[in-house]
Amino acid sequence: MSDDGPMYAQREEAGEAGTPEQGAATGAETPPTHHARRITSFRSRRSTLSGGQQQTWERLWPQIGTEARNAEGHPVVLDPERWFGRQAPLILEIGCGTGVSTSAMAQSEPDLDVIAVEVYKKGLGQLLGVIDRDGIPNIRLVRGDGVDVLEHSLPSASLTGVRVFFPDPWPKARHHKRRLFQTETMALIADRLKPGGILHAATDHQGYAEHIAEVGDAEPRLRRVDTDQQLPISVARPETKYERKALAGPIVTELLWERR
């Protein structure tokens, strides 16, 4: 894949309501190329699951994981109540990486349900291993583009929280268009959050922090809040490898907005 990203074709919208098409793992190292977005915030990365990870994947993915798109390229519309087997406030984490924050935060907030989206299969494989080992009941996994999931898999006012920790900063000016946070993404997040719901972003890249602040503050449905306020979801992140790198260098900026 070129550095400028794939030029994905537009595709029709469909999907079966309430049936995350579980077990759709293809073994391919990149998600199916059916994204509406012409430019994506992620790169293609080759990754191979270890033997143990593969076994866990085959056992658990059909139950708690789904591709964002089915084999025909249609978006899978999620039915969280059915998938989790309960009604609970829902959090969407975009770009969970290996899921260090995801698993720790889900365990500390058992009354919330977390859908973690990632394109990187090995990262999801690692998170699946931790879910299995620790018996974490309140995480479900989606493999694909988090913006695609926001746009096509979840309805308006369905989320109590959106978390994006250390999104790729795409530091070169010619790559800024690849950043996850854009005016359109902020509008989409604002629409999918319930009133009072929280967007929590963290980055160690000063320039990207300024950009996220600018596009977030410009979204009229979002109001900036502070970490020390009473919020419906925890904003206490565990330290990840990105955090450790950041502590050795630049400062981590936490950015929080509440849906009006």
Q: Does 101 bind ligand SAM (CB under 6 A)?
A: yes
Instruction: Clarify whether 111 is annotated catalytic.
Output: no
**Among the candidate windows 9-17, 19-27, 58-66, 145-153, which touches ligand SAM by CB under 6 A?**
145-153
Q: Which two tokens stand for residue 146?
A: 């988090």
Task: Single out the catalytic residue among 168, 217, 226, 228.
Answer: 168
Burial of 220 (0-12, 13-18, 19+ CB in 10 A): exposed
The 214-253 contact track toward ligand SAM, x by CB under 6 A, reads --------------------------x-x-----------
d(CA 148, CA 75): 8
Extended strands (E) in the chain: 65-67, 90-94, 113-118, 139-143, 159-165, 193-203, 222-224, 253-259
β-strands 222-224, 253-259 pairing? antiparallel
Q: Is 172 annotated as a binding residue?
A: yes
d(CA 142, CA 65): 6
Q: Does 90 bind ligand SAM (CB under 6 A)?
A: no
Nearest-approach distance from CB 54 to ligand SAM, in angstroms: 19
Nearest-approach distance from CB 99 to ligand SAM, in angstroms: 8
Q: Is 242 annotated as a binding residue?
A: yes
Q: Does 105 bind ligand SAM (CB under 6 A)?
A: no
Q: Which two tokens stand for residue 153?
A: 């898999």
Residue list, annotated binding site: 93, 118, 145, 168, 172, 204, 240-243
**Residues acting as catalytic residues:** 168
